[in-house]
Structure 1
């Protein structure tokens, strides 16, 4: 189950998880958390295991039918246990959502493909860094889970 992190008391745990998926310093990560707390179109959710923040998903509502996963991170010790995929499944059940998009690097392409996303290279978006667009058609994903 995903829980909104807007009022979550352990900001350091949130910062640590965001640091796993952001190449940024503490100040930039703090600004990102602030934007999740103040912008209506953005939400930051957490997945807890035994009371511990094991993963987080940051989303932006693009339209009534589309969400973008802006951040997705799972603590190293909890990886490979279905937490990331579970967060995507929960996000895909958001009422009215037909499409979920994400942008990622080479390291996470396999994860997004295995979660049902179509992955397309965006080329070298930053010097020496290839980025990928990931698109999930929620209706198609639901059919593949049957």
Structure 2
């Protein structure tokens, strides 16, 4: 994985980031800028050939605990284990002891399948149930 802070194709990053966020272009751009400017955040990507095929964005909570804020895989690369691979590679390379993520019903089974403990947060937004997913590592 590479750090995308100085990656030269900003539009490619924003397009992939938008796929895992509420589709508001200005909001996605603001989130991208947070990754570029906040030292407690990191946005990493996987390049295959010359294409960005996946991203993972985290916020450092402590030296070895993170909150996974974003994960997105290019549509043509989905369901091939790349999301799991990005998470586990990040955990290993950074000696992460705990990773947490908040997600919705559409993604909760992905996290459950790869060993996260799932807790319902209830209906956090009108009509939308949210889940806290936590994985203790090592």
C-alpha deviations, 1:56-81, integer Å up to 9, x for none? 00000001221110001111110011
Instruction: Report 1:29-108 matches (<5 A).
Output: 29-108=28-107
CA contact (8 A) 1:18 1:73 kept: yes
Which consecutive unaligned segments of at least 5 residues does structure 1 have?
Answer: 140-146
Deviation at 1:26, TM superposition (A): 1.0
Equivalent in the alignment of 1:143: none
TM-score calculated relative to the size of structure 1 = 0.90
Deviation at 1:16, TM superposition (A): 1.1
TM-score calculated relative to the size of structure 2 = 0.95
Alpha-carbon distance in 2 for matches of 1:69, 1:76: 20
Give the secondary-structure state (helix, strand or coil) at the position aligned to 1:6. Answer: coil
Give the secondary-structure state (helix, strand or coil) at the position aligned to 1:113. Answer: helix
> How many aligned residue pairs are there?
138
Deviation at 1:96, TM superposition (A): 4.1
